[in-house]
Amino acid sequence: MNKIQRRRYETFHRVFAFIAHYPELFPENTRAGDLATTFRSTFQAIQENARDQLGGVQVLTAETEEKRKACDVLRSRVRQLVRTSRLVSQSVPQFNEPFHLPKTKGDPALVKIAREIDERVSAFRDAFVHSGLPADFIESFKAAIEKVEDAISKGKAAAAAQGSSTQDTGDPDRSA
């Protein structure tokens, strides 16, 4: 919830408390009583959506943090492979040409470059291992790529869930 949504929610909560505290002002079978009943049911729906939305924000925050950590690991692995390829290129000319860092800093670019490197690196596995990388570096590199892709998809799902709970509140300030 943003500040405006929270203020509206708090206002609705105060009105709900007022109706509950002064039921004699809202007798049944009157216009005021009908409005109070409608308000109670509407406010209960808003409370459910607020819980969903707050929970969605927490999940989204956690997924974003997980994605950031996974991207940091993958970025360091890509850098390690690029640096190692530069080292090997000192003895094998142009060895490092197929291995490069992404030109942009976005996560999709990182995953794309990592996939390209993954396709090329297995042919040169022995050269990388001889240069000091662990024997299982390809497997750990693939695992890092999959973890980032999984974190991206989980983040998109969490954002969609949080967004749908925001839309369910019927907030006129929220643009779809």
- The tens digit of pLDDT for each residue in 100-147 reads 787 777 888 888 888 988 888 888 888 888 888 888 888 988 999 999
**What's the helix, strand, coil split of the chain in %, to 5?**
80, 0, 20
Distance CA 64, CA 86 (A): 32
User: Which residue, among 36, 41, 39, has the nearest Cα to 23 in the 3D structure?
Assistant: 36
Both tokens of 165, joined, read 């709970």
Question: What are the structural domain ranges in the chain?
Answer: 3-163
pLDDT digits (tens, 9 = 90+) for 92-102: 888 878 787 87
Cα–chain center distance at 130: 38
Tokens of 137: 């570096």
Asked if 152 and 47 count as a contact pair (C-beta separation under 8 A), the reply is: no
